[in-house]
Chains A and B, each alone.
Chain A
């Protein structure tokens, strides 16, 4: 029976793993940058080091893991198979990693050439990825809210990349563009139309599957990605045609939709059938709580300009949504996906003759929970550092460094144990 697990279509472990193992190094770099720069990084969201740290997390950590995970799960959640996933993973990983490093260097050292090169490398890499992934995805009928969500998310990624490339080139070559407004739009596309829609599309599958919760109501899951996308679309139109009330309305509706999604997911988790809370569950609870506070503060800022115009609010919003929300969801999923893939590949290696070890033998619950404590501490310190930068900024950076080194240790340990078990299984098979 195990042979029938349709394993033939699963991408090799090396395809997603390179992304999962690289991402925490970018998180580590973000932590080191905060330690290096200290309080000056928290003066405003527009300082070069803040832009660098933000992109170390959004592209270096988030986009790395999101795209790596997509290569792995597209066959499972959408029935979409890439012709050569390992080859795609190789060039995508190389382009993404080198482009991120160049972009960060461009921001930090004010180097127009580095910024322009980063824009070209990231733009070409991500455009090629979309060219590879969109045709098979479009051929798949939208038979589930997940598939429809994935299609919209790809459009969201395309919009984010176009805006990002234009912004980086405008910064490098001095194009006369409204950079601040475009940067807001770039962030909305990246965190809403791409990140938010992708997260929802994947959550529809993984929350019930991994946490044994009830499913998302069909109507909500069909419409959530479409409505988020419509909000970001109206927001964009409001900027082009200078219609601020329309933009505000779009922001309010998008925040409310995000809140609804988070509250529903929390409710589903409370109804879970798995008695014991595991690291993935705890990480999702953390992510949902941070996202709810971020979106609620976003609503407050829309109605209360004093908050929106303060230098603290955008930093708090960014820390809560990016480090508290997205990074938490992602680490929570990595802690499920990496041991599961290791188990699946070992199961396959054993050819139904030698059983694979249990998943907790690949990555222990205790190690995951300890790492999470460091992550929570890093977020709490970063939030505190917005108000007390002199006291807490470097400590927050240090906590990010420790949390990411711990994550690297956990993931690398899982891979090392996977390799040991693979050798053992090969030896046992040879002895049969």
Chain B
């Protein structure tokens, strides 16, 4: 994992849609100023990206060796 560590992690790799989406949105609501969250998935969540952009959130994506997409999101 090359992203900076954050205690706010949604490991959605074995969740069925729409759970990864709802869990991420719930966690985003709890983040305080300056905090970041990490979403782990075996795919790129393009519908989530669209909502993040619409809501003014920023994100960074990295694909790691085991096929996990690490998506770092901040408000």
Chain A contacts to B: CB under 8 angstroms: 1-2, 4-6, 9, 75-79, 143-146, 204-205, 208-210, 212, 214-219, 221, 273, 340
Q: Is the CB of B14 within 8 A of A144?
A: no
Q: In the bound complex, do residue A208 and residue B13 qualify as a contact, i.e. CB atoms below 8 Å apart?
A: yes
Contacts of B51 in A (CB 8 A): 4, 6
Q: How far is the CA of A216 from the CA of B13 in the complex (A)?
A: 12
Min CB distance A138 to B, Å, is 16
Instruction: Identify the closest chain A residue to B61 (Cβ).
Output: A143
Cβ-neighbour of A76 out of B13, B47, B67 (below 8 A): B47
Tally of contacts, chain A with chain B, CB under 8 A: 77
Residue from the list B21, B42, B46, B69 in contact with A78, Cβ < 8 A:
B46
Most B CB contacts (10 A, CB to CB) among A76, A144, A204, A215 go to A215
What's the least CB distance linking A192 to chain B, in Å? 23
Bound-state CA distance A4–B69 (Å) is: 22
The 8 closest A-B CB pairs, nearest first, are A215-B67, A215-B42, A79-B46, A6-B47, A208-B42, A205-B43, A273-B14, A144-B44
In the complex, the answer to whether B49 meets A79 with C-beta atoms within 8 Å is yes
**Complex Cα distance A91/B51, Å?**
31
Contacting residue for A1 out of B16, B22, B44, B66, CB 8 A? B22
Closest to A74 in B: B46
B4 at the interface (CB under 8 A from A): no
A209 touches B65 (CB 8 A): no
Find A221's partner among B16, B17, B48, B67 (CB 8 Å cutoff): B67
State A337–B71 Cα separation when bound (angstroms). Answer: 26
When A209-B17, A209-B43 are in contact, do A217 and B48 touch as well, CB less than 8 Å?
A: no
B49 partner residues in chain A, CB cutoff 8 A:
79
CB distance from A28 to the nearest CB of B (A): 32
- Contact indicator per residue, chain B 1-38, by CB within 8 Å of chain A (1) or not (0): 00000000000011011100110011000000000000
Known: A75-B46, A217-B65. 20 other contacts (CB 8 A): A1-B26, A5-B18, A5-B47, A9-B50, A75-B47, A143-B44, A144-B69, A146-B44, A205-B43, A208-B13, A208-B67, A212-B14, A214-B67, A215-B13, A215-B42, A215-B43, A215-B68, A216-B67, A218-B65, A218-B66
How many angstroms between the C-alpha atoms of A218 and B69 in the bound complex? 9
Q: B42's contact among A2, A6, A214, by CB below 8 Å, is which?
A: A214
- B61 contacts which chain A residues (CB < 8 A)? 143
Check: B73 CB closer than 8 A to any chain A CB. no
Contacts of B50 in A (CB 8 A): 6, 9, 79
Cβ-based interface call for B58 (8 A) = no
A146 / chain B contacts, CB cutoff of 8 Å: 43-44
B66 touches A217 (CB 8 A): yes
- Partner-A contacts on B (CB < 8 A): 13-14, 16-18, 21-22, 25-26, 42-44, 46-51, 61, 63-69
Q: Can you list 7 A-B contacts with CB-CB less than 8 angstroms, sorted by A residue number?
A: A4-B51, A6-B51, A76-B46, A79-B49, A204-B67, A208-B13, A219-B65
Which single member of A5, A205, A209, A218 contacts B63 (CB below 8 Å)? A218
Residue of B nearest to A144 (CB): B44
Chain B residues, CB < 8 A from A78: 46
Q: Which residues of B contact A9 (CB under 8 A)?
A: 47, 50
Closest to A273 in B: B14
| Nearest CB in chain A to that of B44: its residue | A144
Name the residue of chain A whose CB is nearest to the CB of B65.
Answer: A218
B25 neighbours in A (Cβ, 8 Å): 1, 4
With the chains together, A78 CA to B50 CA distance in Å? Answer: 12
Tell me if B47 and A77 are in contact (CB < 8 A): no
A77 — which chain B residues lie within 8 A by C-beta? 43-44, 46
Bound-state Cα–Cα, A146 to B63, Å: 12
Q: Which residues of A contact B17 (CB under 8 A)?
A: 209, 340
How distant is A252 from chain B, measured CB to nearest CB, in Å? Answer: 27
Is B43 touching A218 in the complex (CB atoms < 8 A)?
A: no
> In the bound complex, what is the Cα–Cα distance between A152 and B19 (angstroms)?
31
Complexed CA–CA distance, A144 and B51 (Å): 19
Among A9, A218, A273, the one with the most B-chain Cβ atoms within 10 Å of its Cβ is A218
List of A residues within 8 angstroms of B69 by Cβ? 144
Closest to A347 in B: B18
Contact: B67 with A144, CB < 8 Å?
A: no
Q: Which among B26, B42, B48, B49 has the highest number of chain A CB atoms within 10 Å?
A: B42
Interchain CA distance A205-B13 in the complex, whole Å: 11
Determine the chain B residues whose CB is within 8 A of the CB of A204 once the complex forms.
43, 67
* List of B residues within 8 angstroms of A5 by Cβ: 18, 21, 47
How distant is B37 from chain A, measured CB to nearest CB, in Å? 16
Query: Given the complex of chains A and B, what is the CA–CA distance between A204 and B63 in angstroms?
Result: 13
